[in-house]
Amino acid sequence: MPIVDNAVYVQGQRTENPENLETTYELLRARHGMAWIGMYRPSEAEVQSVATEFNLHHLAVEDALAGHQRPKLERYGDTLFIVLRPARYLDKEETVEFGEVHMFIGPEFAITIRHAEAPNLGVVRKRLETNAELLAQGPEAVMYAVLDQVVDEYGPVVAGLENDIDEIEDQLFSEDPNVSRRIYELSREVIAFQRATQPLVGMLTEIKNSLRSDDSKIELRRDVRDVEDHAIKIVERVNSFRELLQNALVTHSTLVAQRQSDETRTLSETSLAQGEQVKRISSWAAILFAPTLVGTIYGMNFKNMPELDWRWGYPFALTLMVAMGFGLYAAFKRRGWL
């Protein structure tokens, strides 16, 4: 249903429920009120219909038909073209889902084109219709109400992102291997949310300043200023989220490097301890090898071995074994191997 709702308002009161756009145009010309036409994913023919009736600029019409626009405010003569990126937080997926709303605001018309389920502009219309004094301010009142709704719906998104960041801070010290991936994914959502919210501050400031010259709309200007204040707070919170995530990523990298350093140090200490043991074992093996060598030589029992017939041969062999053992022991002890 592309035409969700359309009506002509006179002095803030709904005067008719037209069945089609042509009837709306006729009523507007006859009653000189304000037409508010709400569309949901309209066809090109429907957009071209309102463009022809209200003399909308062709560049703005092309943007409205193409969609996927960045948030912006453009002025074409006495008509404003506004693009908003409403958002809602999907807690299960930990992602931010973005919609898109286009508004054409002219002297006697407000056209809202919605390209996603959110926000529910029917709620905005009902709220305005219960406040005839505000709705009597004309198309700027519709513009304010839609902006207010979009900014209000950013609140749960901020709360959801903040909760996820708190969870990440708890994960940092739990050695969870998935925390870096979660930080990257959440950073991507925060950056996308930044792109949707940051332009709002400048847009609202420009709208507020454009209402300064009309003293009859002083209350509406105050309402817009209140939305501007909320938008500034949201932008500041989102900017802080990005900084927190960058710090979390740096902290995570530091912790990983520290853990790797600790593991390397532990391995080094273990290797050193093993090296010391090898030195001790090798030293004692060499010391024991010395008497074994002497004993092996004199145990060969060759016929021509002078020491076998020598009176002091046996004491000499024992003395040589002991001397070699003590000599090796002293050498290894001096080097710190024993």
Instruction: List per-residue pLDDT tens for the chain, 338 residues long.
Output: 577 788 898 888 888 778 888 888 888 888 888 989 988 888 888 889 889 989 999 999 988 888 778 899 999 988 999 999 999 888 877 788 998 999 999 999 999 998 877 778 888 888 988 888 888 888 999 999 999 999 999 999 999 988 888 887 777 766 666 777 777 888 888 889 999 999 999 999 998 888 877 777 788 889 989 999 999 999 999 888 888 877 777 665 666 556 666 566 666 666 666 666 667 767 666 666 667 766 666 666 666 666 666 666 667 677 777 777 777 677 767 777 66
The domain boundary, picked from 257, 292, 309, lies at 257
Q: Are residues 244 and 297 in the same domain?
A: no
Q: How many residues does the chain have?
A: 338
Q: Are residues 151 and 247 in the same domain?
A: yes
Domain containing 329 equals 276-334
Q: How far apart (Å, rounded) are the C-alpha atoms in residues 104 and 112?
A: 7
Q: Are residues 300 and 180 in the same domain?
A: no
Does 265 map to a domain? no
The answer to pTM > 0.75 is no
**Tokens 């932008």, residue?**
235
The domain boundary, picked from 257, 287, 309, lies at 257
Contact at 8 Å (CB) between 65 and 47? yes
Total tally of structural domains belonging to the chain: 2
Token couple for 182: 């979660």
Contact at 8 Å (CB) between 182 and 168? yes
Does 17 map to a domain? yes
Q: Are residues 185 and 288 in the same domain?
A: no
Does 263 map to a domain? no
- H helices of 41-81, where? 44-54, 58-66
In this structure, are strands 101-105 and 109-114 parallel, antiparallel, or unpaired?
Answer: antiparallel
SS3 252: helix
Sign of the alpha-carbon torsion through 234, 239, 240, 244: positive
